[in-house]
Structure 1
């Protein structure tokens, strides 16, 4: 049997933890984001359009279409789905027996249900990555009806874990490539890190210190990022275990450094979880003595693989030196670096490399399938057992080939020639399931934002146009110059994140921003709960406006105790009031000011469920995201260890 049982179990446990973080983080923000008094009410997405519910479900698959049959409003439906998601993920965290395909299918569909009505605040790459990884988790997890029995491994486990590895490859490879295809000057002159720590959405306190590191090290860091994201992913499919472990440790190093310096919610933890697919049970000390061999052939094989590994390591170092012209400056005690290839040369190399990435995937997947089928006949005992194992393996093979095939469409988007090479039949297969979010394209930090300083929008309110303006504080994003950057992951404050995106453009490009300003004029408590202290505790302001500042970190030489310094740039949004011309039309167009569409059916059921949901929210819904996540996660970990 393939020795990945412990590996698979760890992957499933970690996916349970990721789901718990995702559902819990979203749950505490639902009233302010999606309630009737929220910024983007979910009921707007669910409003009747004359089509049957079944047709609307096919286009936007979500359980939210059916929560109305329980007499629930949109916010209550999202509450119910997130609570169910938390409960199911807790069960999977605690009990190994419950981590099966049915439970993970439920988790995947529950998250799909809130994603489909989440609008702008759920349109992040980590949300779609969770959906894609979550669907693969259904295939990785065992399918068994006997919950009282400990799950066992299957011969096809290596195939399903390979699909996770392929997703990790596409994620990391694309994330590295798009930095160069974007032609962003900071990525090409290796100065991206000069701005990254300061300009990222919600930096941690350690990011301030990382920003002070000398520039030569920052440039070397960018070169290392290219090596880890563009180069080492090819080692994911190496038949040599040492090389796979090298790629694993390099990816973990990158993710840990990102976690230390930036608050990217559960995204980096999810990436680390995908990296588990690079491991085997030997990594966890599950190798039996009988599996070791001291024969001359085995000794020669180990020596041969070590020589190949050494050659690969030497090749990586040589490529780094040549591609980035690394040179030690002994006088300055630094390592100088500069990209040695041209943009035309890179695009030509990418064009040539893309077919190889697909062929590597085909060969690697084919090898896993052949080995799995061989194990079905060589390791299983009894004819029936061999046939049953083989049948399961063939079913999984079909699913794996299908998932790999449709993934080629998003994988190819980084290169025009690769995109054009995808056949119409493959595109049709992909388009048939597009609404299920099974596969996606990725590419993180495509262009470096905040070059020259991070733009930051500051909201202000007043009872008079001419005086008395007071700034609103946010819980996590920079605003207060003296406030230390917080550690908030794996919670994602989604309003803070969208405020960061809003600062990169104009408020006209973000319709939700006007809705947000209107909620401040109304003094909606559910929205204010997403923010820091309220400067207008007695009554809401008559006017609200927004100003744009440029923020910079203070320096080590600064005598100030502040973390930030800022400079006023311009008015971001002019002062508005409830009587501002055109505001009412905007709010009516986006469904913000309209009555509730609460169902009047099934009053008894409605009353019970609503009371239950209200009680749960009053008990735990007022906690902050990080506190609630760890309040659920820590006991679950303890229980999982003793169960």
Structure 2
């Protein structure tokens, strides 16, 4: 039986840290995104959009707060609660994580387009699973290691499987020619939303290496996830390190906020106590005890496991060579590759594998349930055993329910399997759909910008003749500026600017133009945290327009050195016409999208809560969000590291004390034995003399 108490504790710490990152990142952007003078005021969404949805934001007016202040308060409370959970293990509790999940869900409900990303849904789904995984330490006052923990922790592994397998399958199901031609990474590094400086260097790698990297991506995302449920431990660990490799490379080459960190956190469900002890260089006493009991049979079983593992890896390597026609190319000193199967063949593969995937999940979950109930039954004491069995019943029902409704988004990839699901399963999924308990996933399904990266460039002018570009802090604009590094912060306006460049202007873009003409400081801070870097910080522009350009990474010089510019660009077309305040086109668009609210915003009362919110906002004003986040993460990690050292020191001192006591007892026993033997020897000598 796999012990998971240590990976589970590490998982809870990581989830608390990710919640902290998500809340802080969102808090900094609330005034510009959802404030009364922001791009999409949340009060309009609450008034017209989600009247039937329960949300804590409805309580804001009763506290003398408007919607913006209510959102800031909710974000701050979530950030503080998650920070406390990071620092104190006793607060990594089921009730605490329930509060964090509910808080982020309420923010998601009013977040509109700026919060409708797949990683926000992934955080909500993982957050709800964390409520089941976390112990009730606040109630029981203990660390909360339970006999059924492996069963609830299994749900995290199942989510990881769905996430990775769907992300791999959607790349081929989308029929994107770059994925099928294995050339996706030739364009991906320069066309992703916010690349890092390392993306420029990765883009310079030879094409054969890019194609081989795509092949490796398919193997890691489609083949490796099946090893998550392998009964052989080393296969699971191999799959774990493959996922870690992929996510690390994505982090180095792109700014995907907390998504990759969250995926790495899900990967912890593949570990056990023994491997965590290996990381910590701690001795596994249970393993040594087991090896000592049955050394002969264990050695025989190890050889069988080695052979099975070798067969599995050989099969994966052989399949990769065959399905992608890998051959050494002596002319390029590289490996040539191509997709050696058709879309219909892959579709047939999905049809053949979807139902077995479901049964694989059923069997794996059933095994976890059986081992968990066996542990509960082996506990000594009638009341303790009864309480353990009761908990097992509750969490087994929850695990079975979560697994069942997750079959709906899993089967979305294959139509026939989705149709044959029981209607009651789809009905249950529909009931919880808006709570984001389970979701469909499929990252990077289509590579955009094959003909050049489309980028919208805003320009402002005072006279309509001389124009000045409005440069964003994170997204590409200035061709000489290096790409930014902002992970794990997500600048949500910059992300939406990337999506806007792929199509027509969205309602929020009209609102952005309108707010820039008004010179609203909250919106300007989304573009430049240091307002002095904004070209119209002294006086708003009279005219604003937007053009679309095509961007490409520059190429490395023949001598291998770096170019003076990171990007090159060409003009594409007009994206948004030149407008000014009162312009007919602008007024019509604002009225069409309902962005001109006739009712004045409700101003918050000047109570203690409002004053505290204003003071907090003033403290972080002008500081880049990623700087705040990294400072909090560094301080938290340092604190936990120091506490761990102190705890280990106390543990070591306790062991040393116990060791000294045992040694003293042994010395006393030896002395008593020596004295006794001396006395007996004297007696014997006296007897001999007599």
Q: Which has the higher contact order (CA 8 A, sep 6+)?
A: 1
Identify which of 485, 505, 518 aligns with 2:483: 485
Identify which of 473, 476, 501 aligns with 2:474: 476
Larger Rg: 2
Distance 2:316 2:249 in 1: 21
1:459 aligns with: 458
2:365 aligns with: 365
More deviation, 285-294/625-634: 285-294
Secondary structure of the structure 2 residue equivalent to 1:574: strand
State the TM-score, normalized to the length of structure 2. Answer: 0.89
2:428 aligns with: 429
Secondary structure of the structure 2 residue equivalent to 1:152: coil
More deviation, 315-324/1-10: 1-10
1:36 aligns with: 36
CA displacement 1:190-229 (0-9 Å, x = unmatched): 0000100000000000000000000000000001100000
1:274 aligns with: 266
> Could you say if the C-alpha distance between residues 535 and 597 of structure 1 is closer, same or farther in structure 2, counting changes exceeding 3 Å?
closer
2:569 aligns with: 566
Q: Is the 8 A contact 1:69 1:599 kept in 2?
A: no
Q: CA deviation at 1:48?
A: 6.4
Q: CA deviation at 1:587?
A: 2.5
CA displacement 1:496-554 (0-9 Å, x = unmatched): 000000000011xx111100110111011111111132212321111111000000000
CA displacement 1:415-470 (0-9 Å, x = unmatched): 111211111100111111112110000000111011121000000011223x1111
Secondary structure of the structure 2 residue equivalent to 1:118: helix
CA displacement 1:45-100 (0-9 Å, x = unmatched): 11268xxxxxx57x434211222221211111111011001100111000011111
Distance 2:360 2:164 in 1: 16
Q: CA deviation at 1:642?
A: 3.6
Q: CA deviation at 1:560?
A: 4.0
Distance 1:2 1:375 in 2: 12
Secondary structure of the structure 2 residue equivalent to 1:622: coil
Q: CA deviation at 1:42?
A: 0.7
More deviation, 616-625/292-301: 292-301
1:52 aligns with: none
Q: Is the 8 A contact 2:90 2:138 kept in 1?
A: no
1:329 matched to 2:326? The reply is no
Secondary structure of the structure 2 residue equivalent to 1:45: helix
Q: Is the 8 A contact 1:71 1:598 kept in 2?
A: no
1:53 aligns with: none
1:518 aligns with: 514
Distance 1:61 1:473 in 2: 39
Q: CA deviation at 1:155?
A: 1.0
Distance 2:474 2:603 in 1: 37
Identify which of 591, 595, 602 aligns with 2:595: 591
State the TM-score, normalized to the length of structure 1. Answer: 0.95
Q: CA deviation at 1:145?
A: 3.0
Q: CA deviation at 1:584?
A: 2.6
1:354-393 paired onto structure 2 within 5 Å: 354-378=354-378, 380-393=379-392
1:230 aligns with: 222
Q: CA deviation at 1:166?
A: 0.5
Q: Which blocks of at least 5 consecutive residues in structure 2 are unaligned?
A: 644-690
> Could you say if the C-alpha distance between residues 177 and 270 of structure 1 is closer, same or farther in structure 2, counting changes exceeding 3 Å?
same
1:62 matched to 2:61? The reply is no
Q: Is the 8 A contact 2:93 2:138 kept in 1?
A: no
Q: CA deviation at 1:623?
A: 1.8
2:442 aligns with: 443
2:67 aligns with: 74
More helix by share: 2
1:17 aligns with: 17
Q: Is the 8 A contact 2:551 2:570 kept in 1?
A: yes
1:115 matched to 2:108? The reply is yes
More deviation, 573-582/360-369: 573-582
What root-mean-square deviation, in Å, do the aligned CA atoms of Structure 1 and Structure 2 show?
1.6
> Could you say if the C-alpha distance between residues 548 and 585 of structure 1 is closer, same or farther in structure 2, counting changes exceeding 3 Å?
closer
Q: Is the 8 A contact 1:27 1:621 kept in 2?
A: no
Q: CA deviation at 1:621?
A: 4.2
1:250 aligns with: 242
More deviation, 322-331/312-321: 322-331
1:397 aligns with: 396
2:654 aligns with: none
Q: How many residues align?
A: 627
CA displacement 1:227-281 (0-9 Å, x = unmatched): 0001100000011100000100000000000000000000000000000000000
Q: CA deviation at 1:332?
A: 2.2
1:259 aligns with: 251
Q: Is the 8 A contact 1:11 1:276 kept in 2?
A: yes
Q: Which blocks of at least 5 consecutive residues in structure 1 are unaligned?
A: 50-55
Q: CA deviation at 1:146?
A: 4.8
Secondary structure of the structure 2 residue equivalent to 1:440: coil
